[in-house]
A and B are shown apart, each in its own frame.
Chain A
Amino acid sequence: MSENGSLCGTFFMNGDEACAEGAISAGCRFFAGYPITPATEVAETMAERLPHIGGVYIQMEDEIASMNAVLGASWAGMKAMTATSGPGFSLMMENLGLGVMLETPCVLVNVQRAGPSTGLPTLVAQGDMMQARWGSHGSYELIALVPSSPQEIFDLTIRAFNLSERYRVPVLIMSDEAIGHMSEKVVIPNVPPEQLVSRPRPKAQQGQYQPYRADGDLVPPMALAGEGYRFHVTGLTHDERGYPDMTAEAHDKLIRRLADKIRLNRKDIEECEEVGIEDAEVVICAYGITARIARLVTQQARDQGIRAGMLRLITVWPFPEDRIRELAQQVKAFVVPEINNGQIALEVERCAAGKARTILLPHMGGSVHPPETILQSIKEAVQ
């Protein structure tokens, strides 16, 4: 074990465990959660590991409480995380909104299973992608990352903490049952402190500090409870002092800033992997577990002489609109396989704006796409 508590070395572990280890390497020392398949291993790993490294694991009474405890811990200065799956994700939506409104850094992991409702608790799906974007009420922006392997969920968990601290926004990791329960080689490096980001801190004197006064980059410095700033924060629409301001003007100003701090920093946040895109006439736009099948199919198509490529979304929210718009000028079609009845395909279609066809390949969940269906769709697209 390294000084910062992370296990250093090469391990064979599943995605959920890798997620927990990523959090610990990122400096996370608070985890609040509620048992739910298929995310339990994240909680179990944290419950085992945190007491050794001065962290706190608490099992709350439900996911609503878990999300709130994470927000509270963040305001006490902790890097905090929770992990859940569909039904719990629904319960967390209320206070995900509070996290956005209070601009609270934290990480929320959703190991997706098939819904709606209890659905298929032990089987894979990608049905919460739009809920991740729009699940809480009101207009807001947040960040959602999608891992495709245990190694990547380790890496992305560190990145998720960094982004959440940098932009003071809850960051979602949209894993899925297949990634969560898949065991693979995971290399855990000794992450040096300079690779970890901490939230901006106030320079203003006590008494001068305004908790929501954001100069320059739209992300206000964050004081912590107990530091003597005696600040007030509220889920109500508020002004720069953090005081409620029930006017349309104040609301406009606040909501625009909350959106702009993400939108104007898309270049820093967005991340995609591109495979064989340069000369592609058809691009598979995939993410998560589905991207692993898409990668195979891209190669199969190339072997058959079809100029296919893959755009793997690593950041889904904010959606990499500009890249899709560019590619729409170049390709004939986007094939979008996803384990739901069409969610990210709608975004691709919106950005392609008729310049290229968008072919949705829905799969309702419980298993992954058979590669043949994607290959078949590619063939139809280029005809």
Chain B
Amino acid sequence: MSDTTTVAESNTESLIRMDRMPHIWCSGCGIGPTVTCFIRGIYRAGLDPDKVSLVSGIGCTGRVAGYVKLDSFHTTHGRALPFATGLKLGNPELNVVVFSGDGDLVAIGGNHLIHSARRNIDMTIICVNNFNYGMTGGQTGPTTPLGARTATTRYGSFEHPFNVPDLVAACGATYVARWTVLHARQLENSIAEALTKPGFSFIEVISPCPTLYGRMNKESKGLDTLHTYQERSVIRNGADTKDVSITADSSIVVGKFVDIERPTFSDCYSQMAERAQGAKK
């Protein structure tokens, strides 16, 4: 189908299931803009949408699978990565994207996250991080900054959060970037880059959750949160991921942090299979 795609068809709506609009996301939510950047990223990268498969877990961001007009799989909580692993290894021609939230990918799916990165499965992960569990009512999660209030940390979060880019970089991800929703241009570029880069590409998207996390932390409108991004974010491409932790009021370091080459799981598997076949003959 890609060869017939005209400029008019390459707008955002062409890859949205318009029969499912309006979506369920709140006013001022950052997931919608992230989806737009993703769709624009697909076109920017020149991919055939027929060959792009999207896998989501559960949660607000998990609903992305239901709204994009791609082969899309809405799986169980935290399990998007292993499902996507099977999909990619089952058909290496597919460009597999995992689009899910921080709770889904980093908490319940944390084990899958580190191992998918370690194996360097060739796929792109878009992790929308809104610092809490939105779908279930704004509970604390693995990325909630210290001191932040949520439905289950009324007196301020006291658990140390993950620095997600550092986590996946340490596990061997070959491409790691972080942008806020407000960095729409950079995010679109990053997604296009990640989609065409072999290996485990991870993009963290810092996103407002005005209804829950925002309301509990004096940013009751999405716009308030975007203003804090304007004030607090600093672009530092190539920053050491150790230095990009997010606290409740620190600067938010964004940029492309990691872009390295490393053989993917499939590369290594093919080499092993050749060795095996050689040994038998």
- Interface on A for B, CB 8 Å cutoff? 30, 32, 51-52, 54, 56, 58, 60-62, 64-66, 68-78, 80, 94-95, 97-98, 102, 223-236, 243-244
Q: Does A229 lie within 8 Å of B82, measured CB to CB? A: no
Q: Which B residues between 1 and 60 are near A, CB-CB below 8 angstroms?
A: 1, 17, 19-20, 49-51, 53, 55
Stretch at the interface among B133-141, B216-224, B271-279: B271-279
B147 contacts chain A at the CB level, 8 A cutoff? no
B161 contacts chain A at the CB level, 8 A cutoff? no
Residues in A neighbouring B280, C-beta threshold 8 A:
52
Kindly provide the distance from the CB of A109 to the nearest chain B CB, expressed in whole angstroms: 17
Task: Identify 9 residue pairs between A and B in the complex whose beta-carbon atoms are under 8 Å apart, listed by A's number.
Answer: A58-B89, A70-B86, A76-B89, A80-B86, A225-B73, A226-B53, A230-B72, A233-B74, A243-B20
**Shortest Cβ-Cβ A-B pairs, 5 listed:** A72-B86, A76-B90, A69-B86, A73-B90, A65-B82
Q: Does B269 lie within 8 Å of A61, measured CB to CB? A: no
Residues in A neighbouring B86, C-beta threshold 8 A:
30, 32, 68-76, 80
Which one of A51, A52, A62, A230 contacts B70 once the chains associate, using CB atoms below 8 Å? A230
- Interface on B for A, CB 8 Å cutoff? 1, 17, 19-20, 49-51, 53, 55, 65-66, 69-76, 79, 81-91, 93-94, 111-112, 114-115, 265, 269, 272-273, 276-277, 280
Assuming the A-B contacts A72-B55, A75-B73, A78-B90, are A52 and B82 also in contact, with contact meaning beta carbons closer than 8 angstroms in the complex?
A: no
Residues in A neighbouring B76, C-beta threshold 8 A:
68, 94-95, 97-98, 235
Assuming the A-B contacts A230-B50, A232-B74, A243-B66, are A69 and B273 also in contact, with contact meaning beta carbons closer than 8 angstroms in the complex?
A: no
| Separation of A64 and B72 alpha carbons in the complex (Å) | 20
Kindly provide the distance from the CB of B118 to the nearest chain A CB, expressed in whole angstroms: 9
Which residue of the partner chain A has the closest CB to B1? A228
- Other 5 A-B pairs with CB < 8 A, given A51-B272, A75-B90, A233-B72: A71-B83, A76-B91, A80-B86, A231-B71, A234-B74
Q: Which of A72, A227, A232 has the most CB of B within 10 A?
A: A72
Assuming the A-B contacts A71-B83, A95-B76, A232-B65, are A61 and B111 also in contact, with contact meaning beta carbons closer than 8 angstroms in the complex?
A: yes
Kindly provide the distance from the CB of B48 to the nearest chain A CB, expressed in whole angstroms: 9
Q: Does B276 lie within 8 Å of A51, measured CB to CB? A: yes
